[in-house]
Amino acid sequence: MLFKKKVPENLINDALSEIQKEKYIETLEYLLKQKRKSIKDEDNCKQKQKLIRFAASRGFEPELILKKLEK
């Protein structure tokens, strides 16, 4: 999305390099826990789908989302 908004590549790379991996994962876990509380659907499969869509819409990688949901 940043490329589509014509943000220079060097700025994107600089910003991404500043992200601390531990903090990034903690943020994902926190967001997933908070979202799970708000999901009314009882079906585990549907809950998982909603959580995946939610986290992906926030920019997290699908592989990392699935890994955290497996726990």
So what's the pLDDT on residue 1? 76
- For residues 68 and 26, what is the distance between their CA atoms, to the nearest angstrom? 10
CA dihedral (17, 22, 24, 25) positive or negative = positive
pLDDT digits (tens, 9 = 90+) for 16-63: 899 899 999 999 999 999 999 999 988 999 999 999 999 999 989 999
Sign for the pseudo-dihedral over CA of 60, 34, 42, 68: positive
Task: Evaluate if pTM is beyond 0.95.
Answer: no
Q: Is the pLDDT of residue 12 over 80?
A: yes
What pLDDT is stored for residue 16 in this prediction?
85
Q: What is the pLDDT of residue 65?
A: 96
